[in-house]
Protein backbone atom coordinates (compact mmCIF):
# COMPACT_ATOMS: atom_id res chain seq x y z
CA UNK A 1 0.00 0.00 0.00
CA UNK A 2 2.81 2.42 0.96
CA UNK A 3 4.62 1.72 -2.32
CA UNK A 4 1.38 2.31 -4.21
CA UNK A 5 0.91 5.67 -2.43
CA UNK A 6 4.47 6.66 -3.27
CA UNK A 7 3.88 5.73 -6.89
CA UNK A 8 0.65 7.75 -6.95
CA UNK A 9 2.39 10.75 -5.37
CA UNK A 10 5.17 10.53 -7.93
CA UNK A 11 2.62 10.37 -10.74
CA UNK A 12 0.83 13.43 -9.37
CA UNK A 13 4.09 15.32 -9.06
CA UNK A 14 4.98 14.42 -12.63
CA UNK A 15 1.55 15.52 -13.84
CA UNK A 16 1.86 18.78 -11.92
CA UNK A 17 5.27 19.36 -13.45
CA UNK A 18 3.88 18.75 -16.93
CA UNK A 19 0.98 21.14 -16.29
CA UNK A 20 3.41 23.76 -15.05
CA UNK A 21 5.52 23.43 -18.19
CA UNK A 22 2.47 23.87 -20.38
CA UNK A 23 1.56 27.07 -18.58
CA UNK A 24 4.66 28.81 -19.86
CA UNK A 25 4.44 27.58 -23.46
CA UNK A 26 1.96 28.71 -26.07
CA UNK A 27 1.17 27.72 -29.65
CA UNK A 28 -0.48 30.40 -31.76
CA UNK A 29 -2.26 29.49 -35.00
CA UNK A 30 -1.88 31.64 -38.11
CA UNK A 31 -3.44 31.06 -41.50
CA UNK A 32 -0.66 32.68 -43.52
CA UNK A 33 3.04 32.01 -43.22
CA UNK A 34 5.19 35.13 -43.56
CA UNK A 35 7.39 35.25 -46.67
CA UNK A 36 10.25 36.47 -44.45
CA UNK A 37 10.71 37.79 -40.91
CA UNK A 38 11.98 41.30 -41.66
CA UNK A 39 9.18 43.86 -41.09
CA UNK A 40 11.34 46.57 -42.65
CA UNK A 41 11.63 44.70 -45.94
CA UNK A 42 8.26 43.11 -46.69
CA UNK A 43 4.62 44.05 -47.13
CA UNK A 44 2.92 40.92 -45.79
CA UNK A 45 0.86 41.40 -42.63
CA UNK A 46 1.95 37.94 -41.47
CA UNK A 47 5.47 39.27 -40.81
CA UNK A 48 4.28 41.71 -38.16
CA UNK A 49 1.88 39.12 -36.77
CA UNK A 50 4.94 37.14 -35.68
CA UNK A 51 7.57 39.77 -34.90
CA UNK A 52 5.83 43.02 -33.85
CA UNK A 53 6.41 43.74 -30.14
CA UNK A 54 7.72 40.18 -29.75
CA UNK A 55 11.07 40.29 -31.56
CA UNK A 56 11.31 43.85 -32.84
CA UNK A 57 10.51 47.23 -31.29
CA UNK A 58 10.40 50.80 -32.55
CA UNK A 59 10.86 54.15 -30.86
CA UNK A 60 7.11 54.14 -30.21
CA UNK A 61 4.55 51.33 -30.30
CA UNK A 62 0.87 50.57 -30.58
CA UNK A 63 -0.97 49.41 -27.48
CA UNK A 64 -4.00 47.15 -27.57
CA UNK A 65 -6.42 50.09 -27.41
CA UNK A 66 -4.81 51.76 -30.43
CA UNK A 67 -2.97 54.44 -28.44
CA UNK A 68 0.70 55.20 -29.05
CA UNK A 69 3.14 54.61 -26.20
CA UNK A 70 6.89 54.98 -25.67
CA UNK A 71 8.95 51.92 -26.59
CA UNK A 72 12.71 52.15 -27.20
CA UNK A 73 12.39 55.90 -26.77
CA UNK A 74 11.48 56.56 -23.15
CA UNK A 75 10.63 60.20 -23.92
CA UNK A 76 10.84 62.91 -26.58
CA UNK A 77 10.65 66.64 -27.06
CA UNK A 78 9.18 68.43 -30.08
CA UNK A 79 10.41 71.86 -31.15
CA UNK A 80 7.91 74.73 -31.22
CA UNK A 81 7.81 74.73 -35.02
CA UNK A 82 7.12 70.98 -35.05
CA UNK A 83 10.17 70.24 -37.18
CA UNK A 84 12.62 68.65 -34.73
CA UNK A 85 11.97 65.59 -32.55
CA UNK A 86 14.58 64.84 -29.89
CA UNK A 87 14.31 61.27 -28.63
CA UNK A 88 15.85 60.00 -25.41
CA UNK A 89 16.50 56.28 -25.64
CA UNK A 90 16.20 53.81 -22.78
CA UNK A 91 19.54 52.89 -21.28
CA UNK A 92 20.72 49.30 -20.96
CA UNK A 93 18.83 47.98 -24.00
CA UNK A 94 20.60 45.18 -25.84
CA UNK A 95 19.86 43.32 -29.04
CA UNK A 96 19.41 39.57 -28.90
CA UNK A 97 23.00 39.07 -30.05
CA UNK A 98 24.29 41.00 -27.01
CA UNK A 99 25.16 44.26 -28.77
CA UNK A 100 23.99 47.49 -27.14
CA UNK A 101 21.29 49.69 -28.65
CA UNK A 102 22.55 53.23 -29.28
CA UNK A 103 21.44 56.29 -31.18
CA UNK A 104 23.63 55.09 -34.07
CA UNK A 105 21.26 52.14 -34.54
CA UNK A 106 18.28 54.50 -34.67
CA UNK A 107 20.02 56.67 -37.27
CA UNK A 108 20.96 53.58 -39.29
CA UNK A 109 17.37 52.24 -39.20
CA UNK A 110 15.68 55.50 -40.21
CA UNK A 111 18.27 56.35 -42.87
CA UNK A 112 17.96 52.84 -44.29
CA UNK A 113 14.16 53.06 -44.38
CA UNK A 114 14.16 56.38 -46.25
CA UNK A 115 17.11 55.69 -48.56
CA UNK A 116 16.64 55.91 -52.32
CA UNK A 117 17.19 52.17 -52.69
CA UNK A 118 15.04 51.26 -49.67
CA UNK A 119 12.91 48.14 -50.00
CA UNK A 120 10.69 49.20 -47.07
CA UNK A 121 7.06 48.55 -48.02
CA UNK A 122 6.00 51.77 -46.25
CA UNK A 123 8.84 54.00 -47.41
CA UNK A 124 6.39 56.91 -47.60
CA UNK A 125 6.22 56.95 -43.78
CA UNK A 126 9.77 58.30 -43.73
CA UNK A 127 9.64 60.64 -46.75
CA UNK A 128 9.28 63.74 -44.55
CA UNK A 129 12.53 63.10 -42.65
CA UNK A 130 15.16 65.66 -43.67
CA UNK A 131 17.94 64.51 -41.35
CA UNK A 132 18.74 62.14 -38.50
CA UNK A 133 21.51 63.24 -36.16
CA UNK A 134 23.19 61.44 -33.27
CA UNK A 135 23.57 63.77 -30.26
CA UNK A 136 25.06 61.14 -27.95
CA UNK A 137 24.66 57.40 -27.35
CA UNK A 138 21.15 57.79 -25.94
CA UNK A 139 19.91 60.87 -27.79
CA UNK A 140 18.90 61.21 -31.42
CA UNK A 141 17.38 64.17 -33.25
CA UNK A 142 15.08 63.74 -36.22
CA UNK A 143 14.50 66.81 -38.37
CA UNK A 144 11.45 66.94 -40.63
CA UNK A 145 11.11 68.92 -43.85
CA UNK A 146 7.62 70.04 -42.70
CA UNK A 147 5.49 69.44 -39.59
CA UNK A 148 3.78 66.06 -39.44
CA UNK A 149 1.05 65.53 -36.85
CA UNK A 150 1.19 61.77 -37.40
CA UNK A 151 4.95 61.29 -37.09
CA UNK A 152 4.93 59.51 -33.72
CA UNK A 153 2.26 57.18 -35.08
CA UNK A 154 4.37 56.51 -38.17
CA UNK A 155 7.22 55.43 -35.91
CA UNK A 156 4.94 52.87 -34.23
CA UNK A 157 4.45 50.88 -37.44
CA UNK A 158 6.22 47.56 -37.80
CA UNK A 159 8.04 49.01 -40.80
CA UNK A 160 9.76 51.48 -38.45
CA UNK A 161 11.32 49.05 -35.95
CA UNK A 162 14.94 49.57 -34.97
CA UNK A 163 17.49 47.16 -36.42
CA UNK A 164 21.27 46.99 -36.07
CA UNK A 165 23.74 47.13 -38.97
CA UNK A 166 25.57 44.11 -37.54
CA UNK A 167 22.55 41.81 -37.90
CA UNK A 168 20.17 43.38 -40.40
CA UNK A 169 21.32 41.18 -43.28
CA UNK A 170 19.99 38.09 -41.48
CA UNK A 171 16.68 39.66 -40.47
CA UNK A 172 14.70 37.87 -43.17
CA UNK A 173 15.49 34.38 -41.87
CA UNK A 174 17.09 34.78 -38.41
CA UNK A 175 15.92 38.13 -37.01
CA UNK A 176 17.74 39.92 -34.21
CA UNK A 177 15.77 42.55 -32.32
CA UNK A 178 15.41 44.03 -28.84
CA UNK A 179 12.04 42.53 -27.91
CA UNK A 180 10.90 40.34 -24.99
CA UNK A 181 11.32 37.19 -27.11
CA UNK A 182 14.16 36.06 -29.33
CA UNK A 183 14.12 33.93 -32.45
CA UNK A 184 15.11 30.26 -32.16
CA UNK A 185 13.88 28.42 -35.27
CA UNK A 186 11.84 28.64 -38.46
CA UNK A 187 10.68 25.37 -39.99
CA UNK A 188 9.42 26.74 -43.27
CA UNK A 189 5.96 25.53 -44.18
CA UNK A 190 5.22 24.69 -40.56
CA UNK A 191 6.21 27.02 -37.70
CA UNK A 192 8.36 29.77 -36.17
CA UNK A 193 9.65 29.28 -32.63
CA UNK A 194 10.58 31.96 -30.08
CA UNK A 195 11.93 31.90 -26.54
CA UNK A 196 11.92 34.39 -23.70
CA UNK A 197 14.70 36.99 -23.89
CA UNK A 198 16.47 36.78 -20.48
CA UNK A 199 18.10 40.18 -21.03
CA UNK A 200 14.98 42.11 -21.94
CA UNK A 201 15.03 45.74 -20.76
CA UNK A 202 11.34 45.71 -19.74
CA UNK A 203 9.09 43.47 -17.72
CA UNK A 204 9.81 39.81 -18.38
CA UNK A 205 6.99 38.00 -20.20
CA UNK A 206 5.20 35.18 -18.41
CA UNK A 207 5.70 32.84 -21.36
CA UNK A 208 8.99 30.99 -21.73
CA UNK A 209 8.44 29.81 -25.30
CA UNK A 210 6.04 30.59 -28.13
CA UNK A 211 5.36 28.78 -31.38
CA UNK A 212 3.56 30.26 -34.37
CA UNK A 213 2.00 27.39 -36.27
CA UNK A 214 0.86 27.94 -39.87
CA UNK A 215 -2.40 26.26 -40.86
CA UNK A 216 -3.92 27.56 -44.08
CA UNK A 217 -6.89 25.19 -44.32
CA UNK A 218 -9.92 26.28 -42.23
CA UNK A 219 -10.98 22.66 -41.61
CA UNK A 220 -7.53 21.78 -40.32
CA UNK A 221 -7.56 24.90 -38.13
CA UNK A 222 -10.80 23.77 -36.51
CA UNK A 223 -9.43 20.27 -35.91
CA UNK A 224 -6.18 21.62 -34.43
CA UNK A 225 -8.04 23.87 -31.99
CA UNK A 226 -10.43 21.12 -30.92
CA UNK A 227 -7.55 18.69 -30.39
CA UNK A 228 -5.60 21.21 -28.28
CA UNK A 229 -2.69 21.31 -30.75
CA UNK A 230 -3.24 25.07 -30.99
CA UNK A 231 -3.75 27.17 -27.86
CA UNK A 232 -5.06 30.28 -29.61
CA UNK A 233 -5.96 31.31 -33.16
CA UNK A 234 -6.41 35.12 -33.05
CA UNK A 235 -7.23 35.36 -36.76
CA UNK A 236 -9.33 32.21 -36.89
CA UNK A 237 -10.12 31.35 -40.54
CA UNK A 238 -13.37 29.38 -40.08
CA UNK A 239 -15.96 31.77 -38.58
CA UNK A 240 -18.75 29.29 -39.35
CA UNK A 241 -17.49 27.05 -36.53
CA UNK A 242 -17.15 29.75 -33.85
CA UNK A 243 -20.57 28.81 -32.46
CA UNK A 244 -19.17 25.39 -31.55
CA UNK A 245 -16.32 26.94 -29.57
CA UNK A 246 -18.72 29.37 -27.89
CA UNK A 247 -20.69 26.41 -26.52
CA UNK A 248 -17.57 24.64 -25.23
CA UNK A 249 -16.27 25.80 -21.80
CA UNK A 250 -12.72 24.87 -22.79
CA UNK A 251 -12.60 27.88 -25.12
CA UNK A 252 -13.17 31.62 -25.26
CA UNK A 253 -14.06 33.72 -28.29
CA UNK A 254 -12.02 36.82 -29.13
CA UNK A 255 -14.35 38.99 -31.19
CA UNK A 256 -13.18 42.53 -31.91
CA UNK A 257 -12.29 44.95 -34.68
CA UNK A 258 -9.30 45.31 -36.96
CA UNK A 259 -7.86 48.03 -39.15
CA UNK A 260 -8.53 45.76 -42.13
CA UNK A 261 -10.46 47.41 -44.94
CA UNK A 262 -11.39 44.44 -47.13
CA UNK A 263 -11.68 45.61 -50.71
CA UNK A 264 -12.18 44.40 -54.25
CA UNK A 265 -8.89 45.93 -55.37
CA UNK A 266 -9.07 47.24 -58.90
CA UNK A 267 -6.25 47.86 -61.38
CA UNK A 268 -7.09 51.42 -62.37
CA UNK A 269 -4.79 51.20 -65.41
CA UNK A 270 -6.38 48.06 -66.81
CA UNK A 271 -8.00 48.91 -70.17
CA UNK A 272 -11.60 48.44 -69.10
CA UNK A 273 -11.13 49.49 -65.48
CA UNK A 274 -9.55 52.82 -66.39
CA UNK A 275 -13.12 53.88 -67.23
CA UNK A 276 -14.86 55.14 -64.08
CA UNK A 277 -18.20 53.87 -65.42
CA UNK A 278 -16.91 50.29 -65.34
CA UNK A 279 -15.63 50.78 -61.78
CA UNK A 280 -19.03 52.23 -60.84
CA UNK A 281 -20.70 49.21 -62.38
CA UNK A 282 -18.53 46.91 -60.27
CA UNK A 283 -19.48 48.82 -57.13
CA UNK A 284 -23.21 48.60 -57.86
CA UNK A 285 -22.99 44.92 -58.77
CA UNK A 286 -21.69 44.06 -55.30
CA UNK A 287 -24.00 43.08 -52.45
CA UNK A 288 -21.86 43.67 -49.37
CA UNK A 289 -24.12 42.01 -46.83
CA UNK A 290 -24.34 38.89 -48.97
CA UNK A 291 -20.53 38.70 -48.95
CA UNK A 292 -20.33 39.29 -45.18
CA UNK A 293 -22.96 36.64 -44.52
CA UNK A 294 -21.64 34.10 -47.03
CA UNK A 295 -17.89 34.49 -46.60
CA UNK A 296 -17.65 35.72 -43.00
CA UNK A 297 -20.83 34.24 -41.50
CA UNK A 298 -22.07 37.64 -40.44
CA UNK A 299 -18.81 38.98 -39.01
CA UNK A 300 -17.84 42.30 -40.61
CA UNK A 301 -19.05 45.88 -41.06
CA UNK A 302 -19.97 47.24 -44.53
CA UNK A 303 -17.77 50.11 -45.76
CA UNK A 304 -18.09 52.55 -48.66
CA UNK A 305 -14.57 53.94 -48.58
CA UNK A 306 -11.10 53.02 -47.34
CA UNK A 307 -11.48 53.95 -43.68
CA UNK A 308 -12.27 52.12 -40.46
CA UNK A 309 -15.86 52.60 -39.21
CA UNK A 310 -14.66 52.69 -35.59
CA UNK A 311 -12.50 55.75 -36.32
CA UNK A 312 -14.08 59.04 -35.14
CA UNK A 313 -13.54 60.65 -38.56
CA UNK A 314 -15.27 57.88 -40.53
CA UNK A 315 -17.84 58.95 -43.13
CA UNK A 316 -20.49 56.39 -44.06
CA UNK A 317 -20.51 56.38 -47.86
CA UNK A 318 -21.99 52.92 -48.39
CA UNK A 319 -25.13 54.41 -49.97
CA UNK A 320 -23.05 55.85 -52.79
CA UNK A 321 -22.28 52.34 -54.05
CA UNK A 322 -25.45 50.52 -53.04
CA UNK A 323 -26.40 47.19 -54.60
CA UNK A 324 -28.15 48.09 -57.88
CA UNK A 325 -27.63 45.48 -60.63
CA UNK A 326 -29.83 47.38 -63.10
CA UNK A 327 -27.71 50.50 -62.72
CA UNK A 328 -24.55 48.38 -63.08
CA UNK A 329 -25.76 46.93 -66.39
CA UNK A 330 -26.67 50.41 -67.68
CA UNK A 331 -23.23 51.77 -66.78
CA UNK A 332 -21.51 48.86 -68.55
CA UNK A 333 -23.58 49.49 -71.68
CA UNK A 334 -22.77 53.19 -71.54
CA UNK A 335 -19.06 52.32 -71.32
CA UNK A 336 -19.32 50.08 -74.40
CA UNK A 337 -19.51 46.72 -72.63
CA UNK A 338 -23.19 45.97 -73.10
CA UNK A 339 -22.31 42.60 -74.60
CA UNK A 340 -20.25 41.65 -71.57
CA UNK A 341 -16.75 41.88 -70.17
CA UNK A 342 -14.20 39.39 -68.86
CA UNK A 343 -11.76 40.29 -66.08
CA UNK A 344 -9.14 38.36 -64.12
CA UNK A 345 -9.77 37.86 -60.40
CA UNK A 346 -6.64 36.76 -58.53
CA UNK A 347 -7.26 35.58 -54.98
CA UNK A 348 -4.77 35.18 -52.10
CA UNK A 349 -5.30 32.37 -49.55
CA UNK A 350 -7.40 33.97 -46.75
CA UNK A 351 -10.92 32.62 -46.55
CA UNK A 352 -12.41 36.13 -46.88
CA UNK A 353 -10.74 36.29 -50.31
CA UNK A 354 -11.39 32.75 -51.54
CA UNK A 355 -14.97 32.53 -50.26
CA UNK A 356 -15.70 36.16 -51.00
CA UNK A 357 -14.28 35.77 -54.50
CA UNK A 358 -16.77 33.05 -55.41
CA UNK A 359 -19.67 35.19 -54.18
CA UNK A 360 -18.45 38.31 -55.98
CA UNK A 361 -17.88 36.34 -59.19
CA UNK A 362 -21.55 35.30 -59.11
CA UNK A 363 -22.66 38.88 -58.40
CA UNK A 364 -20.59 40.23 -61.30
CA UNK A 365 -21.83 37.48 -63.63
CA UNK A 366 -25.38 38.64 -62.91
CA UNK A 367 -24.63 42.02 -64.52
CA UNK A 368 -22.59 40.70 -67.47
CA UNK A 369 -19.04 40.58 -66.09
CA UNK A 370 -17.29 37.22 -66.26
CA UNK A 371 -14.25 36.56 -64.08
CA UNK A 372 -11.31 34.26 -64.64
CA UNK A 373 -10.43 33.18 -61.09
CA UNK A 374 -6.86 32.29 -60.11
CA UNK A 375 -6.16 31.07 -56.57
CA UNK A 376 -2.66 32.21 -55.64
CA UNK A 377 -0.41 31.38 -52.73
CA UNK A 378 0.69 34.39 -50.72
CA UNK A 379 4.16 34.64 -52.32
CA UNK A 380 2.59 34.42 -55.78
CA UNK A 381 0.09 37.15 -54.91
CA UNK A 382 2.84 39.46 -53.70
CA UNK A 383 4.87 38.84 -56.87
CA UNK A 384 2.10 38.96 -59.48
CA UNK A 385 -0.41 41.38 -58.00
CA UNK A 386 1.30 43.60 -55.43
CA UNK A 387 4.65 44.00 -57.18
CA UNK A 388 3.87 43.01 -60.76
CA UNK A 389 0.45 44.73 -61.04
CA UNK A 390 -0.56 41.84 -63.32
CA UNK A 391 -4.28 41.65 -62.49
CA UNK A 392 -7.67 43.22 -63.07
CA UNK A 393 -9.30 42.45 -59.73
CA UNK A 394 -8.22 40.94 -56.44
CA UNK A 395 -9.58 40.80 -52.88
CA UNK A 396 -7.40 41.72 -49.93
CA UNK A 397 -7.75 43.19 -46.48
CA UNK A 398 -5.51 46.21 -45.89
CA UNK A 399 -4.74 45.78 -42.21
CA UNK A 400 -2.30 48.65 -41.77
CA UNK A 401 -3.62 51.42 -39.49
CA UNK A 402 -4.68 54.76 -40.99
CA UNK A 403 -3.45 53.82 -44.45
CA UNK A 404 -5.66 56.02 -46.65
CA UNK A 405 -2.42 57.71 -47.77
CA UNK A 406 -1.67 54.72 -50.04
CA UNK A 407 -4.07 56.34 -52.52
CA UNK A 408 -1.55 59.15 -52.93
CA UNK A 409 0.99 56.74 -54.45
CA UNK A 410 0.49 56.45 -58.22
CA UNK A 411 2.81 53.43 -58.39
CA UNK A 412 0.88 51.52 -55.69
CA UNK A 413 -0.52 48.26 -56.96
CA UNK A 414 -4.03 49.54 -57.82
CA UNK A 415 -2.39 52.43 -59.75
CA UNK A 416 -4.67 55.31 -58.81
CA UNK A 417 -3.20 58.66 -59.89
CA UNK A 418 -5.12 61.73 -58.71
CA UNK A 419 -3.07 64.92 -58.11
CA UNK A 420 -5.90 66.44 -56.08
CA UNK A 421 -5.86 63.51 -53.69
CA UNK A 422 -2.07 63.66 -53.48
CA UNK A 423 -2.36 67.35 -52.53
CA UNK A 424 -4.85 66.42 -49.80
CA UNK A 425 -2.40 63.96 -48.28
CA UNK A 426 0.37 66.55 -48.47
CA UNK A 427 -1.91 68.92 -46.52
CA UNK A 428 -2.62 66.18 -43.98
CA UNK A 429 1.09 65.63 -43.43
CA UNK A 430 1.64 69.22 -42.34
CA UNK A 431 -1.63 69.71 -40.45
CA UNK A 432 -1.33 69.54 -36.67
CA UNK A 433 -4.71 70.97 -35.66
CA UNK A 434 -7.08 68.05 -34.86
CA UNK A 435 -10.08 69.78 -36.45
CA UNK A 436 -8.20 70.49 -39.66
CA UNK A 437 -6.89 66.91 -39.84
CA UNK A 438 -10.42 65.59 -39.34
CA UNK A 439 -11.81 67.64 -42.22
CA UNK A 440 -9.01 66.54 -44.54
CA UNK A 441 -9.60 62.88 -43.69
CA UNK A 442 -13.33 63.22 -44.34
CA UNK A 443 -12.69 64.88 -47.68
CA UNK A 444 -10.16 62.20 -48.61
CA UNK A 445 -12.67 59.43 -47.93
CA UNK A 446 -15.21 61.15 -50.18
CA UNK A 447 -12.73 61.68 -53.05
CA UNK A 448 -11.80 58.01 -53.39
CA UNK A 449 -15.44 56.98 -53.03
CA UNK A 450 -16.41 59.46 -55.78
CA UNK A 451 -13.69 58.01 -58.01
CA UNK A 452 -14.78 54.42 -57.28
CA UNK A 453 -11.10 53.51 -57.02
CA UNK A 454 -11.87 50.09 -55.54
CA UNK A 455 -14.89 48.06 -54.57
CA UNK A 456 -15.24 48.72 -50.84
CA UNK A 457 -16.60 45.62 -49.11
CA UNK A 458 -16.31 45.42 -45.32
CA UNK A 459 -14.15 46.10 -42.29
CA UNK A 460 -12.59 42.81 -41.28
CA UNK A 461 -13.68 41.64 -37.85
CA UNK A 462 -11.20 40.14 -35.41
CA UNK A 463 -12.60 36.64 -35.05
CA UNK A 464 -10.43 34.61 -32.75
CA UNK A 465 -10.66 31.62 -30.45
CA UNK A 466 -8.41 30.65 -27.56
CA UNK A 467 -8.08 28.28 -24.65
CA UNK A 468 -10.23 29.64 -21.82
CA UNK A 469 -7.22 29.70 -19.48
CA UNK A 470 -5.27 32.23 -21.55
CA UNK A 471 -5.41 35.94 -20.79
CA UNK A 472 -3.70 38.97 -22.30
CA UNK A 473 -4.35 38.38 -26.01
CA UNK A 474 -5.48 41.48 -27.87
CA UNK A 475 -9.22 41.62 -28.51
CA UNK A 476 -8.92 44.28 -31.21
CA UNK A 477 -6.13 44.67 -33.73
CA UNK A 478 -5.08 48.33 -34.00
CA UNK A 479 -2.07 47.07 -35.95
CA UNK A 480 -0.93 43.77 -37.39
CA UNK A 481 0.30 42.00 -34.30
CA UNK A 482 0.04 39.02 -31.99
CA UNK A 483 1.70 40.74 -29.05
CA UNK A 484 2.60 38.04 -26.52
CA UNK A 485 4.42 40.26 -24.03
CA UNK A 486 1.40 40.34 -21.65
CA UNK A 487 -0.01 36.88 -22.35
CA UNK A 488 -0.19 34.30 -19.57
CA UNK A 489 -1.98 31.13 -18.49
CA UNK A 490 -4.34 31.37 -15.55
CA UNK A 491 -6.11 28.69 -13.52
Nearest CA among 179, 184, 173, 59 for reference residue 113 = 59
Per-residue model confidence as pLDDT tens for the chain (491 residues): 434 433 444 444 444 444 444 589 999 999 999 999 999 988 788 999 999 999 999 999 999 988 999 999 999 999 999 999 999 999 999 999 999 999 999 999 999 999 999 999 999 899 899 999 999 999 999 999 988 888 999 999 999 999 999 999 999 999 999 999 999 999 999 999 999 999 999 999 999 999 999 999 999 999 999 999 999 999 999 999 999 999 999 999 999 999 999 999 999 999 999 999 999 999 999 999 999 999 999 999 999 999 999 899 999 999 999 999 999 999 999 999 999 999 999 999 998 999 999 999 999 999 999 999 999 998 899 999 999 999 999 999 998 888 999 999 999 999 999 999 999 999 998 887 889 999 999 999 999 999 999 999 999 999 999 999 999 999 999 999 999 999 999 98
Q: Phi first, then psi: give them for residue 419, nearest 5 degrees.
A: -55, -35
| Residue 481 contacts residue 53 (beta carbons within 8 Å) | yes
Q: In 3-state terms, what secondary structure has residue 374?
A: strand
CA distance 280 to 278: 5
Prediction pTM value: 0.82
Nearest CA among 402, 348, 337, 397 for reference residue 370 = 337
- pLDDT for the residue numbered 491: 85
| Residue 384 contacts residue 413 (beta carbons within 8 Å) | no
- Rg of the chain over CA atoms, in angstroms? 24
Overall size of the chain counted in residues: 491
- pLDDT for the residue numbered 150: 87
- pLDDT for the residue numbered 351: 86
Around 455, how many Cα atoms within 13 Å sit in the side-chain half-sphere? 34
CA distance 297 to 300: 9
Q: Is 326 exposed, middle or buried (0-12, 13-18, 19+ CB in 10 A)?
A: exposed
DSSP alpha helix (H) spans, 301-431: 325-334, 351-365, 378-381, 419-430
CA 196 to chain centre: 24
| Residue 264 contacts residue 321 (beta carbons within 8 Å) | no
Amino acid sequence: MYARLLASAAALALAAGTAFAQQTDITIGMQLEPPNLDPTGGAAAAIDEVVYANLFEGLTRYQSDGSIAPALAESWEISEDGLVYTFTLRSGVTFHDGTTLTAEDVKFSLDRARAEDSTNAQKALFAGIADVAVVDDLTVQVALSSPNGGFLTNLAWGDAVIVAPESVEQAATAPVGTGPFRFTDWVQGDRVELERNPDYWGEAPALETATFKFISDPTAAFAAMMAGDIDAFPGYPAPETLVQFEADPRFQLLIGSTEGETILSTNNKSEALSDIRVRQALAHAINRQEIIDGAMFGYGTPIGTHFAPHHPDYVDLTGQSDHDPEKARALLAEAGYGDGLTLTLKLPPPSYARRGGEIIAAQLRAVGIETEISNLEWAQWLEQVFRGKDFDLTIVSHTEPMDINIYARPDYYFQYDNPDFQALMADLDVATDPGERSEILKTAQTVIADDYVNGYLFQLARTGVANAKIEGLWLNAPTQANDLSGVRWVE
